[in-house]
Amino acid sequence: MNGRIVVVSLAVLMVLVLTAWVFVYLKPWVVRMVALYPYTLSATFEELERLFEGENGGVDLELKPYHVREELYTLLDEGEVDIVIAEDLSVMEMLSENGYVNWYLEFATGDGGTAYYIAASRNSKHLEQALAFTQLLLSEEGKDVLREYGYEPVTPAMGFGDVPEELREYALEFKSVIDWLGRRVIVPKPVKRVVSIVPMITLSILMMDGGDLLVGVDSVSPTSELLTKVFPQIKNIPVAGAPWSVNIELILSLDPDVVLTTDRPMEVVKKFEELEIPVVIVPMGRLHCDQLPEAIRLIGKVIDREDKAEELASYCEEKMMALMNVTSKIPRSERAKVYIAISDGLKTHITYISRDIVWIAGGVNVAENLSGPAGGGPPMAAVSMETVLTWNPDVIITWDPKVKELILSDPRWAEVNAVKNNRVYVIPRGLRSWITPEPEAFLGAMWLAEKLNPDAFSFNFEEEVKLFYHRFLGYELSDEELSRILSGEYGVEIPGT
Amino acid sequence: MRLEVRGLHFSYTPEREVLKDISFDVERGDIFCVLGPNGCGKTTLLKCLGGILKPNKGSILLDGVEASTISRAEYAKLVGYVPQEHGLVFPYKTIDVVLMGRAPHLGIFSTPSEKDYRIAEEALREVGIYHLKDRPYVELSGGERQLVIIARVLAQQPEILLLDEPTSHLDIKNQMAILRIVTKLAEQGMTIVMSTHFPRHALLFSSKVGIMVGGRFIAIGNPEEVVTEERLKKAYDIDIKILTVKNPLGDRAIKVCIPVEALSGRQLVGGAWSRV
Amino acid sequence: MVSRYQVLEDILEEIRGRKSLVATALILAPILSFLLSLLVGRYQISPQIVFSVLISKILPFHYDVPKQVEIVIIQVRLPRAIAAALVGAALALSGTSFQGLFRNPLVSSQILGVASGAGFGAALALLLSGDPVIVQVSAFGFGIVAVAISYALSRTYRETSLLTLVLAGIVVGALFSALISLIKYVADPYEKLPSITFWLMGSLSAVSFRELTWNFIPIVVPCIILVLARWRLNVLSLGEEEAKALGIDVERMRMLVISCCTLMTAAAVSIAGMVGWVGLVIPHIGRMLVGPDHKVLVPASIAIGAAYLLIVDSMVRIVSTFEMPLGVLTAIIGAPFFAYLLRKRTVSWR
């Protein structure tokens, strides 16, 4: 009997003790959170912890410092984490890419320009509290603490990713983009004011329905006759210049969210960086054909037109593949030798695009081994009449109708195969010539493929062009316009006339 | 050939007349010496006579023919001009420089003929520098250069010879060489107008002297009468003594001019008189 | 101590001494380089075929070659070689004449702005039309306009002073250079700008008989006039006053020389683009070989200029598949040579 009482009372006592222990030590009503932060911020975050816990009774914030970023990843994998503080944008990007966080904010900068980021873990079970802590950090109270410890709060904070509703009043949203040269560029999200100083970029933007974002354009685009019909508003957009002659002050006054340009000359890019204008580099002029879709996607990402850009890019890829399926089987020796004639006929185009387009179309560019003047020089090379005669091209495509006329009227060209066999064609010109590195180049490839091997292809080319203009530019080409495009008659207006 | 000048006026700018109402005659075989201080208008007068500058007013008559009616090439056949300074840029040979004197006798599209060569060589012989024929002009001494230019003007075969300070910058031997040639040419019947800084040369070699001050002749005539202490003072604005010395080689007394300063100075500078 | 230059001077003296040798060399040089430039090129043709085709054109016998080979020889190489000879001769002769006229061995055929004017004309035509015919005509026209402006600017009061003429030339040259820059600035960098840049660097690659027929007279007629009047350049080089005293109508003679040089240079530039240094360097080579007397110097300059450009253009054609700009090569060869002349103490002028 006694034994039973002892056992029962012992059990009750144990339960009591256990309960007491649970209450005293485990505090089940207390919310326990974990925050990972760089060791260097210890003092600041201990202060913030006191502040946070004082304001939010029943919340226990556990601070786990880490010394190096590898340690951070281990900690994240080991246990539940609610808040992550990191010292570098690249860390946050890494976390974001690996799905640890959906958003992050830059909240302060320290000595030597170090930027500090905060994010709530995606797996956090205490999201509400994590957001509350973030709010505290971004509030005046939190900023005072940061200042006290020698950090400069970022006001408003810069938000990346899907910043939650609760935090939007504290932060402006941004996104970071890796441009063609691998530079990380931080641009506002969404981008509202875009300046492009490269014609091929301007065209790509228009084709992904980004025309309304343009606040400054290159000096060449407004001179294209067809472009001013397809997109008449271009006439009202201020001309910001070209890469080698930028109107920096005008661009500053346009207050752009981002400037898109090429890297030559690099000094201009440096200038933009100095002025803290986000500048994204897409070197359209020296891209290969198969790089063009990627460049289009990049531009789409920058101007928040990813879907349209994807549509355009995959259109280009599809067309390229369709042509390649047929033409890649043609051996080099059987390919038609193609010469591109510009200016007085003895200048030829030497961009990668002009080489690739001819190859994709099933020919081979006779000038494929020519290198032009290096260092951003003109994309043309001069050749002598004798060189052309030695090449003896089977097909000549000329830049405009005048060159064709010139070649046909000059006795020196008379014995060239292309002239003898009446295979001198004017390359079509839409928004720009169809052999410049912009999406229309793929129309150019189709056009040329049909000229080189009329039997091998069965697409309705004219419909294809109309469809392209309808789909990507929302413009219905008339038959007359189409025939002008195909005959290469669309001129370039001269600035100022 | 007789040279007459009547009422000549010249100005570079309308404000300042450089030559004012110049009139004189020079007969065939005369040596007319124009004396005067720097900037008095001697060179301008010679340039007007040489047809290089066009007078604003007045006339120049060659044997009674108005100079402005003669074409430039014809004029150059009659009047030869030896400038004070001549800068040659290219290292022409001496004979080539002398040949250029044949320019007025050659058409625009012709080059010098054998005959022109002979005339040029003759001119070189006449001034006694035939041996310098093939030497580059720029390598010659000042005296030799002056002789080359005189040879050139001889090759031009003019009837009137204008010399602008032909003896300046030359040593005494070369001065004499030049003056000897000038005298000889006058004896051969050439009409000579020569400007000079040296009153001594005017007294010794000229048949007629004009003293020019401020663009105007203050006296023209026989050297003996014209060159007086009073006029020289007026011209050069210093006191000058004219001394008459016995010619050790002849009967005629000769006159020399010496600045009074040089005479009254503590040291009588031996060569002073040769400078004036 | 005998300097390197002295040694060279001695050699030159030796050469000058053998007048007949120099004369023979000067006659042979342009002929040989003309033949050479007919033989070289990207298109492989053996010398026998080249000569046979050429002779068959002159003498009445038939020589059977593929049409294309004949085109290369007759339509491509022949006009190009003639153009090189004409342009070289024209630039060298106008350089020589201008150096005599301006009494300054450092001036060249471009001193009055003809090249800048022609460059502007070409750039403008390339921007607005691109038609090679219009480009040539415009280059020629603006070259003459530039000189006319220089001349008009310098005509103050009663006569033209050489100094103001040179200054006016510099002003006009600078103005047209600025206008060229302006055109390059507004030109489409992917289509128009390269053509303009190529043109300005000079090339003979596009020359055909058509260009030659238009430019033959503006080059050859002034050339003949200057050759006939060459001795007068000696007299002109004495300076205005002495020339006047020697019976020369300086004003008219200057007009004649300037007009001839301008016509020649404008035509040369409109064929070949900007080809620098020929007009500056060739007269000096001429003076080193035959002395300063224009009576011999003028024909010598023509011969050397023609031979020089023929050789340089032959190099342009064989060096690489793409055409090296002619103006670049003449400058690469001409500039160091001129630097050498400047360093040499015993230069041919004082």
Q: How far is C292 from chain B (nearest CA, A)?
A: 6
The verdict on a CB contact (< 8 Å) between C198 and A380 is: yes
Sites in chain A below the pLDDT cut of 70: 1, 26-28, 371-378, 491-497
Residue B275 pLDDT: 42
Domain that holds residue A128: 26-176
Residues 178-207 of C with CB under 8 A from B: none
Range of the domain at C42: 4-343
Is B101 in Cβ contact with C246 (below 8 Å)? yes
Could you tell me if A40 and A133 lie in one domain?
Answer: yes
pLDDT in tens, A217-252: 998 888 888 999 999 999 999 999 888 778 888 999
- Out of C232, C241, C287, whose CB is closest to B52? C241
Q: Do C234 and B72 touch (CB under 8 A)?
A: no
- The overall average pLDDT reported for chain C is 87
Q: Which of B10-19, B28-37, B47-56, C119-128 has the lowest mean pLDDT?
A: B10-19
**Quick one: pLDDT at residue B228?**
87
pLDDT at B251 exceeding the cut of 80 = no
Would you say residue C52 lies in a domain? yes
Section C224-253 average pLDDT: 92
How close, in Å, is residue B269 to chain C by CA atoms?
38
Of C71, C188, C203, the CB nearest to A389: C71
Closest-CA residue to A119 (of A6, A36, A221): A36
- Chain C: residue whose CA lies nearest to B79: C245
Contacts of C230 in chain B (CB under 8 A): 111
Q: Across residues B74-102, what is the average pLDDT? A: 90
Q: What pLDDT score does C65 carry?
A: 85
- The answer as to whether A491 is a domain residue is no
Number of compact structural domains in chain A = 3
Number of separate domains in chain C? 1
With respect to residue C348, please indicate whether it lies within any of the assigned structural domains.
no
Q: Is B108 on the interface with C (CB under 8 A)?
A: yes
In a domain, C182, yes or no: yes
Q: What CATH number is attached to the domain comprising A216?
A: 3.40.50.1980
Is C209 inside any structural domain?
yes
Q: Model confidence at B77, in pLDDT bands (50, 70, 90)?
A: very high
Does residue C303 have a pLDDT over 70? Answer: yes
Question: Two tokens at A437?
Answer: 């590195």
Answer whether A347 sits within 8 Å of C195, measured CB to CB. yes
Hey, are the CB atoms on C72 and A386 less than 8 Å from each other?
A: yes
Which residue among A126, A158, A176 closes a domain?
A176
Q: What is the mean pLDDT of residues B169-174?
A: 85
Contact of C321 with chain A, judged by CB distance below 8 Å, is answered with yes
Please indicate whether, in this complex, the C-beta atoms of A433 and C44 are within 8 angstroms of each other. no
CB contact under 8 A, C247 and B112: no
How far CA A238 is from CA of A438, A451, B251, in Å, comes to 22, 40, 102
A417 and A392 Cβ atoms separated by less than 8 Å:
yes
Domain membership of residue C94 (yes or no) is yes
Strands A115-120 and A171-178, sheet pairing: unpaired
Dist. CA C304–CA C313, nearest whole Å: 14
From C214's Cα to the closest Cα of chain A, the distance in A is 16
Taking a contact as any Cβ pair under 8 Å apart, which residues of chain C between 15 and 44 contact chain A? Answer: 41-44
Subunits that touch chain B (at least 3 Cβ pairs < 8 angstroms)? Answer: C
For C349, the closest of B86, B90, B109 (CB atoms) is: B90
A495/C322 Cβ within 8 A: no
Q: How many residues does chain B have?
A: 276
In the predicted structure, residue C5 carries a pLDDT above the cut 80:
no
Q: Could C186 and A406 be called an inter-chain contact, meaning their C-beta atoms sit closer than 8 Å?
A: no
Indicate if A394 and A368 belong to the same structural domain: yes
Q: How far is B181 from chain C, CA to nearest CA, in Å?
A: 20
Of A144, A176, A208, the residue that ends a domain is A176
| pLDDT given for residue B274 in this prediction | 44
Question: For residues A266 and A391, what is the distance between their CA atoms, to the nearest angstrom?
Answer: 37
CB-based contact B75 C237, cutoff 8 Å: no
pLDDT (0 to 100) of residue C192? 81
Q: Which chain C residue lies closest to A400 (C-alpha atoms)?
A: C130
Q: For residues A197 and A244, state if they share a domain.
A: yes
Examine the pLDDT at B203 and tell me if it is beyond 60: yes
ipTM: 0.86
pLDDT for residue C145: 96
Lowest mean pLDDT among A21-30, B135-144, C27-36, C195-204: A21-30
Q: Does B259 touch chain C (CB under 8 A)?
A: no
Higher pLDDT, B253 or A110: A110
Asked if the model's pLDDT at residue C13 lies above 70, the reply is no
State the CATH number of the domain containing residue C198: 1.10.3470.10
Distance between CA atoms of residues B252 and B246, nearest Å: 7
- Residues in B touching C260 (Cβ below 8 Å): none
CA-to-CA dists, residue B222 to B52, B191, B212, B213, C263, angstroms: 28, 16, 15, 18, 58
Residue with tokens 């056949």: B77
Residue A150 belongs to some domain of the structure: yes
User: Do both A162 and A192 map to the same domain?
Assistant: no
Tell whether B13 is within 8 A of chain C (Cβ).
no
Q: Are residues A164 and A197 in the same domain?
A: no
The predicted structure's pLDDT at residue B204: 83
Predicted pLDDT at C16: 64
pLDDT for the residue A69: 81
Residue A317 falls inside a structural domain: no
Percentage of residues in chain B with pLDDT exceeding 90?
Answer: 54
Q: Does C189 touch chain A (CB under 8 A)?
A: yes
* Domain definitions of chain B by residue range: 3-227, 238-276
- What are the b/e assignments for B99-125, b being 16+ CB within 10 Å? bbbbbbbbebeebbeeebeebbbebbe
| pLDDT for B159 | 94
Considering CB atoms only, which of C103, C253, C295 is closest to B111?
C295
d(CA A194, CA A254): 9
pLDDT of residue C1: 43
CA distance B161 to chain C (A): 11
**Last residue of one domain, picked from the residues A148, A176, A204:** A176
Chain-chain contact of C350 with B138 (C-beta, under 8 angstroms) = yes
Q: SS3 for chain A, per residue?
A: CHHHHHHHHHHHHHHHHHHHHHHHHHCCCCEEEEEEEEHHHHHHHHHHHHHHHHHCCCEEEEEEEECCHHHHHHHHHHCCCCEEEECCHHHHHHHHHCCCECEEEEEEECHHHCEEEEEEECCCCCHHHHHHHHHHHHCHHHHHHHHHCCCEEEEEEEEEECCCHHHHHHEEEEEEEECCCCCEEEEECCCCCEEECCHHHHHHHHHCCCHHHEEEEECCHHHEHHHHHHCHHHHHCCEEEECCEECHHHHHHHCCCEEEECCCCHHHHHHHHHCCCCEEECCHHHCCHHHHHHHHHHHHHHCCCHHHHHHHHHHHHHHHHHHHHHHCCCCHHHCEEEEEEECCCCEEECCHHHHHHHHHCCEEECCCCCCCCCCCCCCEEEECHHHHHHHCCCEEEECCHHHHHHHHHCHHHCCCHHHHCCCEEECCECCCECCCCCCHHHHHHHHHHHHHCCCCCCCCHHHHHHHHHHHHHCCCCCHHHHHHHHCCCCCECCCCC
- Chain C residues with CB inside 8 Å of A222's CB? none
**Inter-chain CB proximity C317 and A384 less than 8 Å:** yes
Residues of C in contact with B85 (CB under 8 A): none
pLDDT at residue C159 in the model: 61
pLDDT in tens, C120-175: 999 999 988 878 889 999 999 999 999 999 998 888 655 668 888 889 999 999 99
Supply the CATH number for residue A142's domain: 3.40.190.10
Does residue C349 fall inside a structural domain? Answer: no
Q: How far is CA B214 from CA A279, B39, B42, B54, C55, in A?
A: 77, 8, 10, 19, 77
Whether residues C41 and A382 touch (CB distance < 8 A) is answered with no
Q: Which residues of B touch C238 (CB under 8 A)?
A: 86, 88, 100
Instruction: Clarify whether residues A46 and A154 are in a common domain.
Output: yes
Q: Does domain B3-227 have CATH number 3.40.50.300?
A: yes
